[in-house]
Amino acid sequence: MTAVHARLRAALAVTRTALAEGAAVPEPERELLLYCHGFCVALDGHHGAEDDALFPALVSRRPELAPAVAQLRQDHSMLGHLLHALRAATERAEEPAALAAHLDGIEAIMESHFRYEERVLLDVLAGIELPLSVPEAFGPL
């Protein structure tokens, strides 16, 4: 989990760099669209895998985690809406400051979510055997 979160943080940093350097790149809108799309797909894929496979497997073995999992799913939904707004803003080629504001919002929620998820689930995951591969549990990253 922590390795996937680190990769997603790195993908967000690359997206921020693409935004900051956009003016120096030919066709900056297309370049930024590529990075934003990649980041959005990666984060969506991670959360989809958790929602579809990891969380049901965890709750079936540890029912007391249901409230925490419900909160994590709610975070996933909120992040999904924020990612959709970022994609739309990127496709409309909004100004860099507006795109940076979208990234700021995503980063704030993502960081809070990752810290909570790691605090609540890392020890549990270390002490439980789940019939899932890493990509099934955490997505293609």
On the question of pLDDT at 34 being above 80, the answer is no
Predicted confidence at residue 27, as pLDDT, reads: 59
On the question of pLDDT at 31 being above 70, the answer is no
Tell me: the pLDDT tens digits for 64-95? 999 999 999 999 999 999 999 988 888 887 88
Tell me: the pLDDT tens digits for 35-71? 777 888 899 999 999 999 999 999 999 999 999 999 9
Q: Which of 70, 73, 4 is nearest to 43 (CA)?
A: 4
The C-alpha atoms of residue 129 and residue 81 are separated, in whole angstroms, by 32
Predicted confidence at residue 17, as pLDDT, reads: 84
pTM: 0.88
